[in-house]
Structure 1
Amino acid sequence: MTIFAVLEPPDGKPDRVDFVPEGFSWGALLFTVVWALWHRMWMVAALLFALTSVLTVATSLEVLGPNFAALLHLGIAVIFAFEARNLEVKSLERAGFRRAGLIEAGSCEGAELAYFADRASVPPQPAPSRVQAVQDDTLGIFGKV
């Protein structure tokens, strides 16, 4: 079973609700920059690209040995793979999404079914009444005397 973070969009449209699984991401390990771009994490992708570029230039200038540079590339990819899902949630929150909760399910489809089934079972809340208290005095400085 996997735990999914549920993020609701700022406009409240149910078709844009995002389910982000917690934990390690194999896609982020194998395709670091492409994975970040796919998930619209522009600054993270730029940072990963810059780190990769610096390591490549350092290797070509023989500042770093090729084995050590490969080890650093792998280390960056592993760290990113462990933190990718958290970074994705933070990126969605900066875009205006809000956390609606956590759901434990076997797959993303199961999480969607559980979330929308629970949402359908909750009766809609009545709109709050807009009754305003009438003040006795014109200036409103004496209150109810």
Structure 2
Amino acid sequence: MPTYTLHMADADDPGSPEALDRAKLVPDRFIWPAFWFTALWFFWHRLWLAGLLVLAVEVGAWVAGLVLNLSPLAGFVIALLLSWLIGLEASSLRRWTYARRGRPIRDAVTAADIKEAEVKLVRRWVAEREPPAPVPAPRTAPPYSRAGSPALGLFPEADLRR
């Protein structure tokens, strides 16, 4: 089961519905769209700096292949490995971008899919907001009366003197 990280601004009140609506969930797994579309995936998610970094690495690898006069098969293998690396690291770059923008990791949860992760995180964050249950007052013993005392002997008097 993948792990999902919750990213919220430090100024947001965790229990408020608006803050949870603005929160971002990032799965910690291989991202197939990032593998296939590389830099476009980052631009789609508005991760501009990470997208430019990925684009620069891809262009640099292409130029290096031209300068080194690599065969088309070697160029394809390099591009495939680079795409694999991007698919593996896409969620880490996304978390880095959110942390840089002032939305650090506030929580993490393991869930089968994103809907289950949302339910678990909302339940956890709303439970923290609920006021604690009032503590019941301690029960005191009823006042002692000799007439209704079931005890025999000197025990009730000994208890009264203390």
TM-score, normalised with respect to structure 2: 0.68
Aligned to 2:50: 44
User: Distance in 1 between the 2:111 and 2:66 partners?
Assistant: 47
User: Is contact 2:50–2:97 with CA below 8 Å preserved after alignment?
Assistant: no
User: Distance in 2 between the 1:96 and 1:116 partners?
Assistant: 21
SS in 2 for 1:96: coil
Aligned to 1:2: 2
Q: Report how many residues are paired.
A: 125
Query: Offset of 1:41 from its aligned partner?
Result: 2.1
Indicate which of 89, 97, 121 corresponds to 1:91: 97
Greater mean alpha carbon deviation, residues 34-43 or residues 65-74: 34-43
User: Distance in 1 between the 2:8 and 2:53 partners?
Assistant: 27
Residues 51 and 118 of structure 1: is their aligned pair in 2 closer, same or farther, counting only changes over 3 Å? closer
Percentage of pairs with the same residue: 24
Q: Which structure has the larger Rg over C-alpha atoms?
A: 2
Where do residues 1-145 of structure 1 align in structure 2 (5 Å cutoff)? 1-12=1-12, 13-57=19-63, 63-123=69-129
> What residue identity is the alignment partner of 1:7?
H
User: Distance in 2 between the 1:97 and 1:20 partners?
Assistant: 12
Query: Offset of 1:59 from its aligned partner?
Result: 5.4
Query: Offset of 1:40 from its aligned partner?
Result: 2.0
Cα root mean square deviation, aligned: 2.0
Unpaired runs of at least 5, structure 2: 13-18, 132-162
Query: Offset of 1:2 from its aligned partner?
Result: 1.8
User: Distance in 2 between the 1:99 and 1:54 partners?
Assistant: 32
User: Is contact 2:34–2:90 with CA below 8 Å preserved after alignment?
Assistant: yes
Residues 121 and 61 of structure 1: is their aligned pair in 2 closer, same or farther, counting only changes over 3 Å? closer
TM-score, normalised with respect to structure 1: 0.75
Residues 55 and 118 of structure 1: is their aligned pair in 2 closer, same or farther, counting only changes over 3 Å? closer
Residues 120 and 77 of structure 1: is their aligned pair in 2 closer, same or farther, counting only changes over 3 Å? same
